Amino acid sequence: MMTGIRHTCAAPTETRRLSPGNEVGPHFHDDHQLIYGSTGVLEVFVPEGTWFTPSVRAVWVPAGTVHHWQVHGATTVRMIGIPTAMMPSPEHVPSLVAVDALLRELIITCSEQGSAETPAARRLLRVLVDRVEPSHQVPTVVPTLMDQRLRDAQRMLEADMTASPRLAELGRAVGASERTLSRLFGDELGMSYTAWRTQLRLHRATLLLAEGRTVTQAAAACGFSSPSAFVSAFRAAFGRTPGSLYRA
């Protein structure tokens, strides 16, 4: 086990009201856990990458997964510990869970009551478990890159999100041909350069929205061609417009 990683057998069920930038260090549980940020943006970091989502999604963290998380914007984080016996998980990596009105209320109620120690609390938790379904939208995650050339490409784009280099130009900058770089995106990430760049831009833009930037400001800072292009990308990812989640 790596130094500095905490192990807590039971995943806590609780509510935390946090300030922007608050975070929890690396740890893992023997239980599954559902983590939900009611406002702002929640980032969950795992070895495979960074999952990010506003309040229309929660992050499912399977038992045994080393993770840490951070919030952007003042938010209330609600965590639900779920014993593996109650819900065997076929997935061994985190995933996003769609949060509709009913699941939201179940998460709030269960997180406020704490560990399910009474028959009534356990029944309510079982109802919540029955409502947990993966999101049908494209997963919003910034993958951890293994190839040095891809890592160099990510640093280039993140240094200036308004730039839109073509793949050939990016390849020359990191020491790879256009064909090689295209193959690396497909082999390592299973997505095209354009799709990956959109993930980077969405990630940065959601953090800016949580900090109080407007849709127009976030779109311009992250290289979207127009505010409407950003709104379309955001809605495709989260099923809602940014304006409906981050109104002044």
When pLDDT is averaged across residues 76-87 and rounded to a whole number, the result is 92
When pLDDT is averaged across residues 20-47 and rounded to a whole number, the result is 93
Q: How far is the C-alpha of 125 from the C-alpha of 107, rounded, in Å?
A: 9
Residue in this structure with the two tokens 């800016």, named with its chain if needed: 208
pLDDT bin (cut points 50, 70, 90) of residue 137 is confident
| Whole-number pLDDT of residue 135 | 81
- The mean predicted confidence, pLDDT, of the chain is 91
Residue in this structure with the two tokens 């304006």, named with its chain if needed: 243
| Whole-number pLDDT of residue 248 | 46
| Whole-number pLDDT of residue 89 | 66
Given a cut of 70, whether residue 38 has pLDDT beyond it is: yes
Q: How far is the C-alpha of 41 from the C-alpha of 237, rounded, in Å?
A: 14
Given a cut of 50, whether residue 39 has pLDDT beyond it is: yes
| Whole-number pLDDT of residue 87 | 82
Given a cut of 60, whether residue 1 has pLDDT beyond it is: no
> What domains can be seen in the chain, in order of their start residue?
6-131 (2.60.120.810), 145-245 (1.10.10.60)
When pLDDT is averaged across residues 64-87 and rounded to a whole number, the result is 93
pLDDT > 90: what percent of the chain?
77
Out of 101-115, 145-159, 188-202, 234-248, pick the least confident.
234-248
In the structure encoding, which two tokens stand for residue 223, read together? 């290289």
> What backbone torsions phi and psi does residue 36 show, to the nearest 5 degrees?
-135, 125
Given a cut of 90, whether residue 134 has pLDDT beyond it is: no
| Whole-number pLDDT of residue 220 | 97
Strand partners, 96: 59
pLDDT bin (cut points 50, 70, 90) of residue 60 is very high
Contacts of 150 (CB under 8 A, 6+ apart): 174, 181, 184, 185, 188, 189
